[in-house]
Structure 1
Amino acid sequence: MRQGAEDLALELARRHAARATFTSIFDDADAAEAATPDVAFAYEVQDRFVAELSRSGAQAAGYKVGLTTTRMQQMCGVNEPISGVVLGPRVLRSPASVKTADYVRLGLESEMAVRIAPGAGRTGVELQDLPLRHLIDQVCAAFELVEDSGADYGRLSAASIVADNSWNAGLVLGPPIAVGGLAHLRGRRGVLRLNGEAVNEGMSDEVLGDPLNAVHWLASHLRRRGRALQPGQWVSTGAIVPTRFLAAGEAYAFEIDGLPPVELSVS
């Protein structure tokens, strides 16, 4: 018999406290369930795991949308977007710093983040029909921090990542700019630099064709679960540049055309 969502969430919390290597929380399921992981059930586990993380009163500051580019889907062997909750205490402002010793294996994903505008989360509003300036009011370059706990990328499923809050360990926001007269977020080149040297790049179009499509996907996903995006929440739209794993002594900067860079130092 499949374990309940609450029990699985508590087991996830135990594994994180023990700094255990990541394996699917569903590995003990029967053979049929293991062959076809239940993503809907995984989101129920995520809800309870996030509630466990929030016991100290931390509130959701927004969401991450993951696996929104072909490169990231190929890296993880998963062919659909996923989402996770970003808790308020895990939101950092650039320039920020992190310690690798605080994590099992910390990854960095270079993204575009957007802030939901006033009124855009109203029940019944179809976000697809809103002009850019009515959907979001700020945009910035961002780093998502991901804790994969040393996962074997050859043994992943959407459900296993989703249950673990889609591996979100935080969000570093670069200096935001007002959307103002921006017509769209497409066609913007992002360059990741390590200790001042360019190491990778990508285009905002790689994110589901347009970073706003990640917001639309998230809004529809939340609506199906009886929820809605709220004004002031941040949405990290997905990695323009694939994950890099961090080492002490590194300094990263990610700049997207037209946006100030986001910066992170690692010790």
Structure 2
Amino acid sequence: MTQNTTTLKENQTTLTGNQQAFANALTTAFNTRLPLNEDEWTDYAPDENAAYNVQEAFTRLKKGEVGGYKVSLTSKETQDMFDSDEPLYGAEMRDRFLKAPANVNLKDLMEPLVEVEMCFRAKEDLTPDDTLEDLMNKTTVAPALEVPDSRFKDWFPSLSKYMVMSDGAVSGLVVYGDEFDTNKFGTVDALENVSATLYHDGENLKSGKSSEVLGNPLKSLQWLVNKLDSQGKRLLKDQRVSSGTFVLPPSLTKGEWHATFDNGLGTVNLNVK
């Protein structure tokens, strides 16, 4: 394994040559939509630190600026699938957050799924000192459909967690609906009791609750703020966070997708061509 290094100047992350090569390969797969084979890359990111280094480099190779993050593995079921005992996160570029109703071409994606989520937006910078109540007061919330996608072939649910981390937590895009001040819920506990139902071409596919997301989606947001802080980063004003899925995701296919939420959150729509 080569030992030459490349420094990412903003936070002084140092990459091995193999990690940079992995980030370059992910970028090529992202641009060409030709997937990678996992077994060719596992040695390039054998632990969490290496995987997040690769993700950082991969993010910097994308066009545009980071618009926020997605949090994955926020239920015991999904953590067990990927042999993890905590969530993981991925950066999402600003142009991958789409205001509903959104139109997407399936050919522009690789092997996408669709998830039902709540999407927060920071009204000011968030810090590790923020309590759940602080986070409720410092954010807006919107109903969302997240579309995870991967640069690896046959990735769900068999891709290893370090490959998922490297691949931006299989970042794809996030479609969000109308935003409301999160404190409209009144209490932190009220965010545990949001129900949502996913539809495809009018067919009721599945329903889930916000309690699937670490017990409360605000806990997912808090986890992210703390994780970023441990890496010398901060969740900034106007960045968005797709906080974790209510349901085990089906594959995204052509047609009209929407999710309806109770508690006044409304509906979010995505049309796939």
Which range, TM-score by smaller chain? 0.7 to 0.9
Tell me if structure 2 keeps the 8 A contact 1:176–1:260.
no
Query: Residue in 2 aligned with 1:145?
Result: 147
Of residues 54, 61, 67 in structure 2, which corresponds to 1:52?
Answer: 61
Query: Residue in 2 aligned with 1:16?
Result: 30
Tell me if structure 2 keeps the 8 A contact 1:65–1:81.
yes
- 2:212 is aligned with 1:206: yes
Question: Relative to 1, partners in 2 of residues 1:93 and 1:152: Cα closer, same or farther, differing over 3 Å?
Answer: closer
- 2:249 is aligned with 1:243: yes
Of residues 260, 268, 271 in structure 2, which corresponds to 1:255?
Answer: 260
TM-score (norm 1): 0.87
The alpha carbon displacement at 1:156 in A equals: 1.9
SS of 1:253 mapped into structure 2: strand
Counting only pairs closer than 5 Å after superposition, residues 157-168 of structure 1 correspond to structure 2 as 157-168=160-171
Rounded to whole Å, the distance in 2 between the matches of 1:143 and 1:197 is: 16
- More deviation in 209-218 or 145-154? 145-154
Deviations along 1:31-61, whole A, 9 cap, x unmatched? xx88xx301110000000000013xxx1111
SS of 1:186 mapped into structure 2: helix
Aligned length: 254
Q: Identical aligned pairs, as a percentage?
A: 28
Tell me if structure 1 keeps the 8 A contact 2:193–2:209.
yes
- 2:81 is aligned with 1:67: no
- 2:233 is aligned with 1:227: yes
CA RMSD of aligned residues (A): 2.2
Question: Relative to 1, partners in 2 of residues 1:48 and 1:25: Cα closer, same or farther, differing over 3 Å?
Answer: farther
SS of 1:201 mapped into structure 2: strand
Rounded to whole Å, the distance in 2 between the matches of 1:180 and 1:15 is: 41
Rounded to whole Å, the distance in 2 between the matches of 1:84 and 1:132 is: 20
- 2:191 is aligned with 1:191: no
Query: Residue in 1 aligned with 2:41?
Result: 27
TM-score (norm 2): 0.85
- More deviation in 92-101 or 68-77? 68-77
- 2:18 is aligned with 1:4: yes
Query: Residue in 2 aligned with 1:114?
Result: 120
Structure 1: which 5+ residue stretches go unaligned?
none
Question: Relative to 1, partners in 2 of residues 1:42 and 1:161: Cα closer, same or farther, differing over 3 Å?
Answer: same
Tell me if structure 1 keeps the 8 A contact 2:132–2:218.
no
Q: Which amino acid letter does the alignment assign opposite residue 6 of structure 1?
A: Q
Query: Residue in 1 aligned with 2:49?
Result: 40
Tell me if structure 1 keeps the 8 A contact 2:71–2:90.
yes
Question: Relative to 1, partners in 2 of residues 1:160 and 1:126: Cα closer, same or farther, differing over 3 Å?
Answer: same
Tell me if structure 1 keeps the 8 A contact 2:38–2:153.
no
- 2:199 is aligned with 1:173: no
SS of 1:215 mapped into structure 2: helix
Rounded to whole Å, the distance in 2 between the matches of 1:62 and 1:47 is: 13
